[in-house]
Amino acid sequence: MPDPIPGLHHVTALSGAAQDTLNFYAGVLGLRRVKTTVNFDDPKTHHLYFGDTVGRPGTIITFFPWPRARQGHTGAGMVQSVAFAIPPNTIAEWAAHLDEADVSCRRTEIFGDPALRFDDPFGLTLELVATDGMVNPGAWEDGPIATEHAIRGFHAPVLPIFADDRTPELLTDLFGWTHIDENENRSRFRGPAETDLANVVDLQVQDRHPSGRMGKGTVHHVAFRARDEEEQKQWQTTLRDRGIQVTDVKDRQYFQSIYFRDPNWTSGILFEIATDGPGFLEDETEGELGETLRLPSWLESQRSEIEDALPALTSPTA
Ligand code: ZN
């Protein structure tokens, strides 16, 4: 059995216009755009990556902007909401900041931590959870919010499951995570203690979930970390040994990926395991990250057609 999964790697969602996505995630939430590229399976569509200063695993949220897509909504087999960790005692600053950006949010509490809940401009539900449990010294310094208040990385995404689903077993017996808390119908699982960021997942256990619809404002998949390609290979074998159908390794340029979706083991949600490396400094320096369109070598020959098909992007505005 491989070593326990250290935490989340990234979350990928569908949004609306690319510029609106940039304005919100960089201009309002203060994440850094760490890569501007295209959907490798559909190169006429952007793929935008946001994260901390260098896009460290556990901080990366990525989008396929899809302005003409139908509106999606969450339900069974889809991630319900995505949470980010903010430093303790920053709820008031964030509430004021969101208010100023005309984002209506409500205050709540999640497993004892104060939090803000709101929707992104495309309908995806987000939470900011104020906690001292997640540390990241690499928060982006040029965002619209003071660095000491900035988003640290992911907190727990919420995954809807049915009571007899085996997702808890996947997390504990395979991934090596621990069931640490229970609250009404939310079950909280945590990865290895040595990971200080993005190592929590909440399962929302219910007898019924409405059926979801993939589209604008929904999460496409959630990716967990493998430390390297060797470990990823071990996961592919381990999961296949349990009868879970896992894809071959796909080259995503900045990491290598395997995917699996199983009605029982993942409650129908698309899971990915992505390698920590090589990371976003693969083809740009830290100062250049995200500013210009990067293409993998196999698409470079089509650059001019691809650039013509993509909307122009300007610096984010709040
Ligand atoms: Zn992915």
What CATH number does the domain containing 72 carry? Answer: 3.10.180.10
Q: How far is the CA of 9 from the centre of ligand 1 (A)?
A: 8
Q: How far is the CA of 36 from the centre of ligand 1 (A)?
A: 15
Residue 315 in domain: no
32 lies in some domain: yes
Q: What is the pLDDT of residue 124?
A: 98
Distance, CA 89 to ligand 1 centroid (Å)?
32
Label residues 233-246 b or e (16+ Cβ within 10 Å = b).
eebbeebeeeebeb
Q: Domain containing 175: what range? A: 8-309
35-70 pLDDT, tens digit per residue, is 999 999 899 999 999 999 999 999 999 999 999 999
Determine the distance separating the centroid of ligand 1 and the alpha carbon of 223, expressed in angstroms: 6
The predicted pLDDT at position 163 comes to 94
In a domain, 1, yes or no: no
Q: Which two tokens stand for residue 35?
A: 């890569």
Q: Is 30 left (phi over 0), alpha (psi -120 to 50) or beta?
A: left
Low-confidence ranges of the chain (pLDDT < 70): 318
109, part of any domain: yes
- 12 CA to centre of ligand 1 in angstroms: 6
- Return the DSSP state at 280: G
* Share of residues in the chain with pLDDT > 90 (%): 94
Report how many domains make up the chain. Answer: 1
pLDDT at 261: 98
Which residue type is seen at 290? G
In a domain, 112, yes or no: yes
Q: What pLDDT does residue 133 have?
A: 81
Q: What tens digit of pLDDT does each residue of 255-272 get? A: 999 999 999 999 999 999
Q: What integer pLDDT is reported at residue 193 of this predicted model?
A: 81
Expressed in angstroms and rounded, the spacing between residue 260 Cα and the centre of ligand 1 is 11
User: Which pLDDT value is given to residue 148?
Assistant: 94
2 alpha carbon – ligand 1 mean position (Å): 21
In a domain, 297, yes or no: yes
Q: Which tokens sit at 48?
A: 């935008």
**What pTM value is reported for the model?**
0.97
